[in-house]
Amino acid sequence: MENNNVNNDEYVYKKNIKNFELFLNSEAYKKLKECYIEKVKKIINTGYIDKNGDKTYLVSNNLNGNINGIKFINNAPRKNSKIDEIYVDPDSADSKLYTEIAKRYELPYECDNCRFKDKNLNIQLSLDCVIGWKAIIDVCVRENIEIERFKDAYEIIRNPKNDGHLIWPVFKAVTINTQRYRIFNDRVDYTLFDIKNYYKEKKELKDKVNEETSQTKLKHVYYKNFTAKWLDNFGNFENFIDQMKLQKWCKGDGSYDVLDLSRNIIGVDEENRTELKNYGEKDNYTITKTYIDNIIYIISNSEKDKKFRL
């Protein structure tokens, strides 16, 4: 992914929110909302909508000053679409965020150009938000939640004061980050459940398990050189969870059972929350309003944020 490092005093996610507010207050959005509310997420995510099978691109002339300059160009080359200016990925562009996370989590990594570097293993790692901008918009559109409500959820999830970030090895080949999106729809609970099964297989089957024989869903990632080296460095799942500060995604009874985030967690004592027991079908990986509300409740470090519901 291209690294658009933003080196200033404002978090990138805050700039995203400002741009999104400009978009919501524009005449262009008001017109689009009347006709294409179910397509709004596509406009924000990709810069175009599909209209009668034709790709109609949404182009912004000047987001900083006048978002009303948005216009349609039929069959325009993708590179001409400037809707990307609404959203910049903080995980690849916010050096301030990386410094803050490394300090807060007391990670033994040095920050360099929006990357962490594990000097002992010589492996680069990158941040990954526990749930992305697109997934929240998808739920708002699918479950008829006001799209404007998305902004409040995004702000809580992205706030560095909350615990909404993950860290994975990053390189040109397939990674946990890319494959958890493809296989698990970015669900953090199923991703950690799969990693737990990786460690379980390694312990029980030892040298008999490999990329071909593993029953894990992300096996094509785990047995790649850098990822295997990184995972095996922790020794077991418990150490992985503790060292990467991921205890919040497991039951609070010392079992290290991964929580099922599609079930009701809010208001339930930690030891009585439901854990994941199997992979289920693909439909199980759907992201829902309950899933997002649970994530916000778990990661929030203030009572105000904990009370938020999408």
At 179, list the tokens.
């494959």
Nearest by Cα to 149 from 139, 158, 159: 139
Supply the DSSP symbol for 6: B
Per residue in 92-102, pLDDT (tens digit) is: 889 889 988 88
- The whole-chain average pLDDT of the chain stands at 81
Nearest by Cα to 298 from 242, 253, 250, 239: 250
Separation between Cα atoms, residue 299 and residue 283, nearest integer Å: 25
Per residue in 117-128, pLDDT (tens digit) is: 887 888 889 999
pLDDT at 33: 67
Per residue in 186-215, pLDDT (tens digit) is: 999 999 999 999 999 999 999 899 999 999
Separation between Cα atoms, residue 284 and residue 104, nearest integer Å: 33
Helix (H) or strand (E) holding 124: strand 123-129
The C-alpha angle with vertex 102 and arms to 97 and 104, in degrees rounded to 5, equals 90
pLDDT at 234 over 60: yes
Indicate the burial class of 255 (C-beta count within 10 angstroms; 0-12, 13-18, 19 or more). Answer: exposed
The residue ranges of every structural domain in the chain are 12-86, 90-306
Helix (H) or strand (E) holding 190: helix 188-205
Contact 35, 23 (CB under 8 A): no
Mean pLDDT computed over 244-262 = 94
Per residue in 21-44, pLDDT (tens digit) is: 877 777 667 766 665 555 565 566
Phi, psi for 247 (deg, rounded to 5)? -60, -30
Contact 262, 290 (CB under 8 A): yes
